[in-house]
Chain A
Amino acid sequence: MINLIFYFFAFLAIAAALYAVSTKQIIRSVFAMFACFFAISGLLVFAQSDFIAIAHLMIYVGGILVVMVFGIMLSQKASLSNVVLQKKSISLHQYLALLACVALFVILMYFFYLYGPNTPIHYVGSDIEIIGIALLTKYLLPFELVSLLLLAAFIFTAMVTRKNKNL
């Protein structure tokens, strides 16, 4: 039963990801990405990191996907109808993207080869207390840097969207 659910999520993640890059309708690919993110957060639960799973759901589905959908909806009218994605000859930046994907895949496979499927997981518990204490002691500097970055993004957005530049 558990195995079945795991393989269902794995299949859903791969199928949805493939559909997201192959479909010609942008809005459908966004919703396929939702299915993909959802399946990945299901897989994260299997990896015994349920906090990360929920955070993944919250950030990607509640934040990034909604912003993407808004971007598509508020862009030009042409993109509201079925947009035919360009299928010309492959240009340089597409080769670069392919290179990046292959590199990422190689790195992932390298670590998979290094540690193997039978390496026992060093489980310290997904308790939020552990995560909270780790964030505010060991990883305090990166945590604060990220929050500074987010604050800068906030201020920048407020500056860009302000109508009256003199205020």
Chain B
Amino acid sequence: MAFYFISIVLLGFIAVYALMAVWAERKISAWIQDRVGPVVTGKYGLLQTFADIFKMLQKEDITPTLADKKLFLAAPILVFTAVFMGFATIPFSPTYISSSINIGIFYLLAIVSIEVLGILMAGWASNNKYALLGSIRSIAQIISYEIPAALAILSVIMLFQTLNLQEICMQQGILSKQKIYFFGFWEVSKIGGVFAWTIFQAPHLLIAFIIYFIASLAECNRTPFDIPEAESELVAGFHVEYTGFKFGALFLAEYAMMFLVSMIAAVLFFGGWNTPLPNLASFALADYTTGTYWGIVWILLKALSLVLLQVWIRWTFPRYRMDQLMTLCWKVLIPLSFVLVLFSGIWKLFILN
């Protein structure tokens, strides 16, 4: 029973988060561009996206005459389900994880590929050239950027020797059974806090995080990699024909995907549910701030900060061209991430042993 309850709470949380993220994105963009943003509906315009979603639900649900009707209906369901399936293996606290399987991160990588197929289905079923072009671009981009993302994840996993996300979290804080070394020389197993996070366990893992973050931006179709839905070229990309609730589902899935990749980044690189506060002599801050409820607070804070970073980047950088995008992926990120994997092996064999 508790399982169903937690699933429903998670779905509700993601729905509310997506609405609030849209509002936050509009406010932050307004702030960056020296505007005010939504102010009319509710205090600080907080109810703006709720009003928008109610408008969207009331709208007529139009299916184009020449569209493939069954696939057109199936695509948003597939995309949204695929993204939501990803949350199953994310640990929220030391005691709560929906499914603690020993192939957690591998499962997450496979889930992303289902979303690819959903986008393709949406683009195809719309029977619209812009939608098809958008989905082809999207897939070319996602399957290219999966490679540096997977290699960056691999360079982390090689140090932890497990694919279970809960165990990866365990090995980044005071609850660890193994010894943790800050950059390989200072044992911090009992101190914990920020010093025990993955990015401080080896010098190359900060670069791995940057590679993973760039790749995750591309996987979410976010600027500077938003060429699949480039407004100035393709109207709206793969979801141009979608209206009403189906569009809402696709939109929700995009923000849920942003949150999912941020959660993965938080777990793999920033200690997951571990506290940033270290144990300082008699001030055992890490001992105080580790626990079920603290864990949920920390991981949500970390993930939401990364979402904020994604929003910030969107309103700061211009869009890449297709060839620049591919050059960055195949000629810069992939060779660099191969070097990182090699370095991880060397670090594991010679420094940590």
Q: From the candidates A31, A34, A62, A126, name the one contacting B143 in the complex (CB within 8 A).
A: A62
Determine chain A's interface SS by DSSP, over half rule. Answer: helix
Q: From the candidates A25, A55, A58, A66, name the one contacting B120 in the complex (CB within 8 A).
A: A66
Q: Which residues of A contact B163 (CB under 8 A)?
A: 128
Q: Which residues of B contact A126 (CB under 8 A)?
A: 102
Distance of A34 Cα from B132 Cα, bound (Å)? 19
Distance of A73 Cα from B124 Cα, bound (Å)? 9
Is the pair B101, A50 in contact by a Cβ cutoff of 8 Å?
A: yes
Is the pair B143, A69 in contact by a Cβ cutoff of 8 Å?
A: no
Q: Which residues of B contact A24 (CB under 8 A)?
A: none
Q: Which residues of A contact B112 (CB under 8 A)?
A: 62
Is the pair B143, A127 in contact by a Cβ cutoff of 8 Å?
A: no
B41: Cβ under 8 A from any A Cβ? no
Is the pair B114, A57 in contact by a Cβ cutoff of 8 Å?
A: yes
Q: From the candidates B71, B102, B116, name the one contacting A31 in the complex (CB within 8 A).
A: B71
Distance of A66 Cα from B114 Cα, bound (Å)? 10
Q: Which residues of A contact B113 (CB under 8 A)?
A: 57-58, 61-63, 66
Contact mask for chain B residues 332-348; partner A; CB cutoff 8 A; 1 contact, 0 none: 00000000000000000
**Number of residues on chain A facing chain B (CB within 8 A):** 23
Is the pair B117, A66 in contact by a Cβ cutoff of 8 Å?
A: yes
Whole-angstrom distance between the Cβ of B282 and the nearest chain A Cβ: 40
Residues A1-50 near B (CB distance < 8 A): 25, 27-28, 31, 34, 38, 50
Q: A65-B117, A66-B120 are in contact. Are A57 and B110 (CB under 8 A)?
A: yes
Q: Which residues of B contact A70 (CB under 8 A)?
A: 136, 139
Q: From the candidates B71, B106, B110, name the one contacting A61 in the complex (CB within 8 A).
A: B110
Closest to A72 in B: B124
B107: Cβ under 8 A from any A Cβ? yes
Distance of A25 Cα from B109 Cα, bound (Å)? 30
Is the pair B114, A61 in contact by a Cβ cutoff of 8 Å?
A: yes
B256: Cβ under 8 A from any A Cβ? no
Q: Which residues of A contact B102 (CB under 8 A)?
A: 126-128
Is the pair B116, A66 in contact by a Cβ cutoff of 8 Å?
A: yes
Is the pair B117, A28 in contact by a Cβ cutoff of 8 Å?
A: no
**Number of residues on chain B facing chain A (CB within 8 A):** 24
Is the pair A58, B110 in contact by a Cβ cutoff of 8 Å?
A: yes
Whole-angstrom distance between the Cβ of B218 and the nearest chain A Cβ: 15
Is the pair A62, B110 in contact by a Cβ cutoff of 8 Å?
A: yes
B287: Cβ under 8 A from any A Cβ? no
Q: Which residues of A contact B116 (CB under 8 A)?
A: 62, 66
Whole-angstrom distance between the Cβ of A10 and the nearest chain B Cβ: 20
Q: Which residues of A contact B121 (CB under 8 A)?
A: 31
Q: A28-B71, A31-B71, A62-B143 are in contact. Are A69 and B120 (CB under 8 A)?
A: yes
Q: Which residues of A contact B132 (CB under 8 A)?
A: 73
Contact mask for chain A residues 52-86; partner B; CB cutoff 8 A; 1 contact, 0 none: 00110110011101100110010000000000000
Residues B263-307 near A (CB distance < 8 A): none
Q: Which residues of B contact A25 (CB under 8 A)?
A: 68
Q: Which residues of A contact B74 (CB under 8 A)?
A: 31
Contact mask for chain B residues 87-103; partner A; CB cutoff 8 A; 1 contact, 0 none: 00000000000000111
Whole-angstrom distance between the Cβ of A25 and the nearest chain B Cβ: 8
Is the pair A28, B103 in contact by a Cβ cutoff of 8 Å?
A: no
Is the pair A28, B68 in contact by a Cβ cutoff of 8 Å?
A: yes
Residues A87-133 near B (CB distance < 8 A): 126-128
Whole-angstrom distance between the Cβ of A85 and the nearest chain B Cβ: 17
Closest to A60 in B: B113
Q: Which residues of B contact A34 (CB under 8 A)?
A: 117
21 contacts between A and B (CB under 8 A): A31-B71, A31-B121, A51-B106, A54-B103, A55-B106, A57-B113, A58-B106, A58-B109, A58-B113, A61-B114, A61-B117, A62-B113, A63-B113, A65-B117, A66-B113, A66-B116, A66-B139, A69-B124, A73-B136, A126-B102, A128-B102
* 5 pairs of A and B residues whose beta carbons are closest in the complex: A62-B113, A58-B110, A57-B110, A54-B110, A54-B107
Contact residues of A with B, CB < 8 Å?
A: 25, 27-28, 31, 34, 38, 50-51, 54-55, 57-58, 61-63, 65-66, 69-70, 73, 126-128
Contacts A66-B120, A66-B143, A127-B102 aside, 8 further interface pairs with beta carbons under 8 A come to: A50-B101, A54-B110, A57-B110, A58-B113, A61-B114, A62-B116, A62-B143, A73-B124
